[in-house]
């Protein structure tokens, strides 16, 4: 039952997000929260179930690739949400979109691996690069349309 679904948030994560990962600002926190809600939407739409079923039948690298498409779609949905918030409430502040774009950059797999002093290994990516995360967030924000977030049919992420 959807009404029983819960989002569990570790709010202690917001401090390292800002201090160690360099993704500060209220909208960076919103990015993290709404990204999780977007997974719930994917679940309700049946997308997560299908994608995760396929993931069990393919190689690790292919499974990671599907994970990247799931995550980038969640970022795109988050962009749709940001657009809707602005349209409905007009509450986006100057700099909010820049904070979201910076958060997307800081939590990209390539940036995380590089900042951890590791070699960047694309086949291990599960969330997408900084550039991809920024691109899909921006796509959702600019279009406001679920159909524009079809990362599964996209030739280029």
Contact positions vs Zn ion (CB under 5 A): 71
Cβ-closest position to Zn ion: 71
Q: Closer CB to Zn ion, residue 44 or residue 87?
A: 44
What distance in Å separates the CA atoms of residue 129 and residue 72, rounded to the nearest whole number? 9
DSSP H helices, 57-124, are 60-89, 96-106, 109-115
Instruction: Note the residue count of the chain.
Output: 157
CB of 85 to Zn ion, least distance (A): 20
CB of 35 to Zn ion, least distance (A): 5
Q: Closer CB to Zn ion, residue 48 or residue 85?
A: 48
Q: Closer CB to Zn ion, residue 48 or residue 146?
A: 48
Contacts of 11 (CB under 8 A, 6+ apart): none
């Amino acid at each position: 039952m959807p009404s029983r679904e819960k989002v569990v948030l570790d709010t202690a994560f917001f401090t390292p997000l800002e201090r160690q990962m360099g993704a500060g600002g209220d909208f960076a926190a919103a990015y993290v929260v709404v990204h999780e809600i977007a997974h719930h939407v994917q679940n309700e739409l049946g997308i997560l179930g299908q994608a995760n079923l396929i993931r069990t039948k393919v190689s690790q690298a292919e499974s990671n690739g599907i994970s990247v498409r799931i995550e980038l779609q969640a970022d795109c949905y988050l962009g749709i949400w940001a657009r809707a918030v602005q349209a409905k409430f007009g509450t986006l502040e100057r700099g909010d979109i820049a904070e979201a774009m910076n958060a997307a950059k800081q939590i990209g797999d390539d940036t995380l691996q590089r900042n951890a002093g590791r070699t960047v290994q694309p086949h291990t990516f599960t969330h997408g690069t900084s550039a991809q995360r920024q691109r899909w967030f921006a796509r959702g924000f600019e279009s406001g349309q679920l159909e524009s977030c079809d990362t599964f049919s996209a030739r280029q992420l």
